[in-house]
Structure 1
């Protein structure tokens, strides 16, 4: 095979050919560095290690090959071995900034972020090429993020962006810090200043729009997203965000137009399909709304918002059988989704399918939805099913989350009287009346057979006299 020496992959091809034949060929240290870098970039750690080993056999004094060796040791969490090599290299070249960068990496991996920052600041001082400082500033910023020191992180991400104005990840990180600090106004001020000198930066316009959206200044948000689109008319994220703003402004037709642009520019996203469906629903175009809700669940069967949207669409129109059909499909796809089970329970209750509704409420509670209504609805269904003991147990659990709540106490009072436990019944009924006498209708509503019982009547009438 003839290799062209002009071919930039020639050393790599030659190296891989050598591994197959077991011949030992010579490579200069730069070639080894490029080969190792290629393997690390592509996640081929074993081949990178082979290249480092052979490289160090041929170039035992190469600092850069040793630094690659450190990189591999860090990946393998062999921090003390990495430290030993770095200490040795520091003796040889005390002013090599790369040694400090790798040392900081080792420290960071061990959660020693303050020391990592100190080490990176030394690397910055040693740096002979200021244009490369952007990466170092970004690394310092990331270390401050690990420490949740967002104010300090912002300072260094700003330095990074000043050194390299095309580093959009730094711009995103600056905004992320402001978001975390709830400093929308500061973020807006910074982005406006940045845009004064970089007026066609679509990422900055997009971020500015998001900030205006957060403070509900929809007109300015809309304008910012327009500028993002002017700067890059294929910027899918800007069309999506503009669509969301237009929805807030109730300009649903325009919102649909923007969402549809994203469908043309890129693979359709379930988010855009869902939002189009909601817009059509707001416009009263039910057929189109359903069409897009169906497209949403077809595009992404795991997006719970899609299943919830189509289920609620039918619930609003009191078509509970259709709603049940869709929520059953959703539950079959993801049986751990608490929102699905809550809807499943509600729909079955409306259809008077009480056993299924009870299963739904029980599953909702098992999945950690401890809203008061969930406990009460399950309790009422158990009462209707004649499962009084189960209803009592359910309410006692609810009382742990909502102690001294009148709606729980009235139900416990009624249940204890119903199950011939008069002392407990009297205690909970009196407690309920003390907490809120206005809820006393619960007894006649859920336990009509108790309304004429002398003891119950006496307790309620006595409480009413006292409250008067």
Structure 2
């Protein structure tokens, strides 16, 4: 007959684990009280060994068949190991033993939430709210469910309730920022975080989110102040340095931005995005060797970062190394085929290399992807004009104007093409429209057809609008 030993909760948790492992080695049967079993299960959970923790929960259930806690622990472990149906069964048994345990409904809610069975998730979380002592995490999960349902206003309500319960719930602060972002309601976001900071002035997360809201409102100076407070409170907050760098870039303070980006390296491993951002700053400062060096570091870390490949192309393009630039532009395009900027750069490089058919095809792609790009329409039509394909150039300008009815540049260019084709009366009609839209830009017409400066009819019409 096997000898039974009893181990109680007065034991050191480490001792309980050692005795449990001894029992398994000896194929013996020791008795542990409920607290000792809980300690052993928690030990294996902390060691990230759910299989062993599940094994302990089975022993615990056999020795303490009326303790709901082991069924609940078992359910949590079954969730982690993706055994949802077994987890539901364990929770049902736990509810029969102790229906008032909030954890039953929280875990069940988590399961339903992961299955996108939102109504059942909400029902269980609502039950848990009435039973739990601390409810901020439950309120956070209710907010997640409403986000999954696309009801961001209700999600905001629950996130605010969560923060009322626990002002330091960082997840709720970030989720709230996300909801305001989705609703494109940055003004409300700013008001909330300012009010929050009045109560919690040392919340680095609140200052950070306030900075992000200011950034989205293009209030970059205010954003930088907010990021500075976040950094002051938590000097190792790499994301705040990075976003402050982005705000400085928006203010065209590239040298300062580089210094701020570099500070992130003190608190986290350098990453591809930061290297790429530094590369872009050097590019804007026209320090192309430095820029290319950082872009190369970026692609070495993340070969799938299209912007870094593109950046290398830009630095080569700047040095009139168009053939090499084209190679890198195409690498970027392979990673992001629908990026209009990449197509534009390719179109321009092909043009500079004298590859007109390839350039034309690329411009066609640019205006298809981004019909609001006025410069692309102008360049596209120029290729056709230079190729003496006036009818097509005029047609392209007409399409451009349909998509950009307020862009005076397009009207002036169309006037030039119509005059070149000999359609003077129609040209005058469009000249009037161009001058009504923006009379100051009439020089565009003379840039394209300098001889028109001697045309009295044209000059008289322009003078009517400009004097």
Normalized against structure 2, the TM-score is what? 0.69
Structure 2: how far apart are the matches of 1:293 and 1:230? Answer: 30
Offset of residue 15 of structure 1: 3.0
> Of residues 274, 284, 287 in structure 2, which corresponds to 1:285?
287
Matches for 1:126-137 after TM superposition, within 5 Å? 126-127=131-132, 129=133, 132-137=134-139
Offset of residue 348 of structure 1: 5.2
In the other structure, the counterpart of 2:35 is 30
Matches for 1:12-411 after TM superposition, within 5 Å? 12-40=17-45, 43-75=48-80, 82-127=87-132, 129=133, 132-324=134-326, 326-327=328-329, 330=331, 335-338=334-337, 342=343, 347=349, 350-352=352-354, 406=395
The one-character-per-residue Cα deviations of 1:335-360 (angstroms, maximum 9, x if unpaired) are 554269846676456435689x59x9
Structure 2: how far apart are the matches of 1:300 and 1:60? Answer: 53
Offset of residue 52 of structure 1: 1.9
Normalized against structure 1, the TM-score is what? 0.69
In the other structure, the counterpart of 2:15 is 10
Offset of residue 35 of structure 1: 3.0
Decide which moves more: 208-217 or 116-125.
Answer: 116-125
Structure 2: how far apart are the matches of 1:73 and 1:278? Answer: 48
Structure 1: how far apart are the matches of 2:246 and 2:369? Answer: 32
Structure 2: how far apart are the matches of 1:219 and 1:52? Answer: 56
Offset of residue 67 of structure 1: 1.3
Structure 1 residues 222 and 121: alpha-carbon distance in aligned structure 2, compared to 1, 3 A threshold? same
The one-character-per-residue Cα deviations of 1:365-421 (angstroms, maximum 9, x if unpaired) are 8xxx867889x99xx99xx9xxxxxxxxxxxxxxxxxxxx955999xxxxxxxxxxx
Structure 2: how far apart are the matches of 1:76 and 1:188? Answer: 41
Structure 1: how far apart are the matches of 2:68 and 2:247? Answer: 54
Say if 2:276 and 2:298, in contact at 8 Å, map to a contact too.
yes
Structure 1 residues 135 and 312: alpha-carbon distance in aligned structure 2, compared to 1, 3 A threshold? same
Offset of residue 320 of structure 1: 0.9
Structure 2: how far apart are the matches of 1:408 and 1:185? Answer: 39
Say if 1:407 and 1:439, in contact at 8 Å, map to a contact too.
no
Structure 1 residues 344 and 26: alpha-carbon distance in aligned structure 2, compared to 1, 3 A threshold? farther
Structure 2: how far apart are the matches of 1:102 and 1:295? Answer: 44
Offset of residue 242 of structure 1: 1.4
- Other structure's SS at 2:69 match: helix
In the other structure, the counterpart of 1:454 is none
Between the two proteins, the alignment pairs up a number of residues equal to: 388
Offset of residue 57 of structure 1: 1.4
Structure 1 residues 154 and 315: alpha-carbon distance in aligned structure 2, compared to 1, 3 A threshold? same
Structure 2: how far apart are the matches of 1:79 and 1:222? Answer: 46
Offset of residue 74 of structure 1: 4.2
The one-character-per-residue Cα deviations of 1:283-327 (angstroms, maximum 9, x if unpaired) are 333333333333333343322111101102222342113314545
Structure 2: how far apart are the matches of 1:326 and 1:82? Answer: 51
Structure 2: how far apart are the matches of 1:294 and 1:185? Answer: 39
Unaligned runs of 5+ in 2: 1-9, 388-393, 400-413, 430-467
- Other structure's SS at 2:218 match: coil
The one-character-per-residue Cα deviations of 1:42-70 (angstroms, maximum 9, x if unpaired) are 55333233222222111111101111233
Structure 1: how far apart are the matches of 2:86 and 2:238? Answer: 47
Offset of residue 233 of structure 1: 2.1
Offset of residue 77 of structure 1: 6.0
Structure 1 residues 74 and 275: alpha-carbon distance in aligned structure 2, compared to 1, 3 A threshold? closer
In the other structure, the counterpart of 2:460 is none
Structure 1 residues 112 and 300: alpha-carbon distance in aligned structure 2, compared to 1, 3 A threshold? closer
Say what the alpha-carbon RMSD is for the aligned residues.
Answer: 4.2
Structure 1: how far apart are the matches of 2:273 and 2:27? Answer: 54
In the other structure, the counterpart of 1:414 is none
Structure 1: how far apart are the matches of 2:83 and 2:302? Answer: 42
Say if 2:338 and 2:369, in contact at 8 Å, map to a contact too.
no
Say if 1:263 and 1:272, in contact at 8 Å, map to a contact too.
no
